[in-house]
């Protein structure tokens, strides 16, 4: 009897789906906390009298640390029960939110972001691959789409709501609200998750073996290019909307809401189309991101033009996490947790690199320049996929 059978045999479908919902909320909390500074970069920078590029470190630190934490924590955890580990990680995330909310100096904010990075890497690596263990193989596809929907939901609900709270009550209030929400998610995980003993400990040699495969290397290259392009540009979308589109601060939330709504649609459309052609779905997403970000500095001067491009961008990026995660899973069907670790590490490291490099371009050239650079990189990813023989 397999670990998956042991996990689901004594559980009703309702209990399994409640557990899926709790994991989805956990990842929603992670994603929202990680990208929350995108909508708050300006007030954070003004409060501590730092440049937008320096404020962008709040986006850089978590991703780099998550990339290290994904393999380190997963390997170190060995055969520890994943239920207890996920709950402990969520408690640390709540602490990080509250540290940011009470920070009086910028280094304290960065310290909180270190904790965020550690939690993201470990929780993502474990939680994103739990669908089969929670609801069984027959419903795993749908459950996986639900779990990955937390990524665009973080954009459609988390970031706009955080921006709105920040505009009304200050950026610290946005982190305080996330801290309280995360504690509620911790309770949901503790109540709904079954015992999740590790059937097979993830080892470093398994991860090394995965990176030798052609499909894995291609997935790594494309993931790096697309995520680099996206977060090198999206991290600075608020300054673009303020300075180029001339959107009033109170309306930026609406623009981000439109972007996130399109992302949710893109996530579920991709969930359906990757079964037919994963490579083409990934290629289309990369190409649309490239076109949208390249066009924003030129067509984003008007509010309608910016909105249309944000819809295209959001729809395309909504497909990226599920495409990348599925690519790695198909490349290593025998080691699902190892595939999740590799996906998480590559995604998070590149997320931070994009925010960091984007900050350099913004500080040395301009916000429109970073949009053009990101668009070129995304189109390069589409070109790589177009020449790939197999997915």
Instruction: Dump pLDDT digits (tens) for 134-150.
Output: 887 777 767 877 887 88
With vertex at residue 345, the alpha carbon angle to CA 220 and CA 90, rounded to the nearest 5 degrees, is 150
Provide the sign of the torsion angle of the four alpha carbons 163, 243, 297, 55, taken in this order. Answer: negative
Categorize the per-residue pLDDT at 200 as very low, low, confident or very high, splitting at 50, 70 and 90.
low
Reported as a single tens digit per residue, the pLDDT across 13-46 is: 788 889 899 999 999 999 888 888 877 877 888 8
Q: What is the mean pLDDT of residues 233-242?
A: 86
User: Could you tell me which residue, 322 or 335, shows the higher pLDDT?
Assistant: 322
Provide the sign of the torsion angle of the four alpha carbons 278, 279, 284, 286, taken in this order. Answer: positive
Number of separate helices (H) and strands (E) present in the chain? 20, 0
| Lowest-confidence pick of 129-133, 217-221, 342-346, 375-379 | 129-133
Categorize the per-residue pLDDT at 202 as very low, low, confident or very high, splitting at 50, 70 and 90.
low
User: Could you tell me which residue, 175 or 53, shows the higher pLDDT?
Assistant: 175
The whole-angstrom separation of Cα 224 and Cα 161 is 29
pLDDT at 204 over 80: no
Rg of the chain on CA atoms, in Å: 20
Tokens of 268: 């579920």
Instruction: Quote the crossing angle between the two packed helices 82-102 and 106-127, to the nearest 10°.
Output: 160
Q: What is the mean pLDDT of residues 153-166?
A: 77
Residue 105's CB is within 10 A of a number of other CB atoms, namely 9
Tokens of 7: 């996990």
The mean pLDDT of the chain is 83
């Amino acid at each position: 009897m397999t670990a998956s059978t042991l996990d689901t045999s004594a559980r009703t479908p309702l209990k399994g789906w409640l557990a899926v919902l709790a994991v989805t909320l956990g990842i929603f909390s992670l994603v929202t906390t990680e990208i929350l500074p995108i909508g708050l970069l300006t007030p954070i920078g003004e409060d501590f009298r730092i440049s937008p590029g320096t404020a962008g470190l709040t986006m850089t630190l978590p991703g780099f640390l998550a990339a290290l934490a994904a393999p380190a924590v997963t390997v170190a955890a060995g055969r520890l029960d994943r239920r207890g580990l996920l709950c402990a990680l969520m408690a640390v995330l709540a602490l990080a939110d509250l540290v940011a909310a009470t920070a009086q100096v910028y280094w304290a904010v960065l310290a909180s972001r270190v904790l965020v990075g550690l939690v993201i890497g470990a929780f993502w690596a474990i939680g994103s691959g739990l669908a089969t263990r929670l609801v069984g193989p027959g419903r795993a596809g749908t459950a996986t789409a639900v779990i990955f929907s937390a990524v665009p939901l973080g954009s459609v609900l988390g970031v706009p709501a955080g921006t709105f709270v920040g505009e009304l009550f200050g950026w610290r209030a946005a982190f305080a609200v996330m801290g309280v929400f995360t504690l509620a998610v911790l309770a949901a995980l503790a109540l709904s998750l079954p015992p999740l003993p590790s059937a097979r400990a993830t080892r470093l040699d398994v991860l090394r073996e995965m990176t030798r495969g052609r499909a894995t290397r291609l997935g790594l290259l494309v993931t790096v290019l697309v995520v680099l392009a996206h977060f090198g540009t999206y991290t600075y979308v608020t300054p673009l909307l303020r300075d180029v589109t001339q959107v009033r601060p109170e309306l930026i939330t609406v623009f981000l809401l439109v972007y996130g709504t399109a992302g949710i649609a893109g996530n579920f459309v991709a969930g359906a189309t990757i079964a037919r052609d994963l490579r083409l779905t990934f290629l289309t997403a990369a190409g649309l991101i490239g076109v949208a970000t390249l066009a924003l500095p030129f067509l984003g001067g008007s509010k309608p033009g910016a909105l249309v491009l944000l819809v295209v961008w959001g729809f395309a990026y909504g497909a990226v996490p599920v495409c990348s995660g599925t690519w790695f899973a198909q490349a290593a069907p025998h080691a699902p947790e190892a595939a999740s670790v590799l996906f998480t590490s590559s995604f998070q490291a590149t997320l931070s690199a994009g925010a960091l490099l984007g900050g350099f371009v913004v500080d040395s050239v301009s916000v429109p320049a970073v949009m053009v650079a990101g668009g070129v990189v995304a189109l390069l990813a589409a070109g790589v996929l177009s020449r790939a023989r197999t997915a």
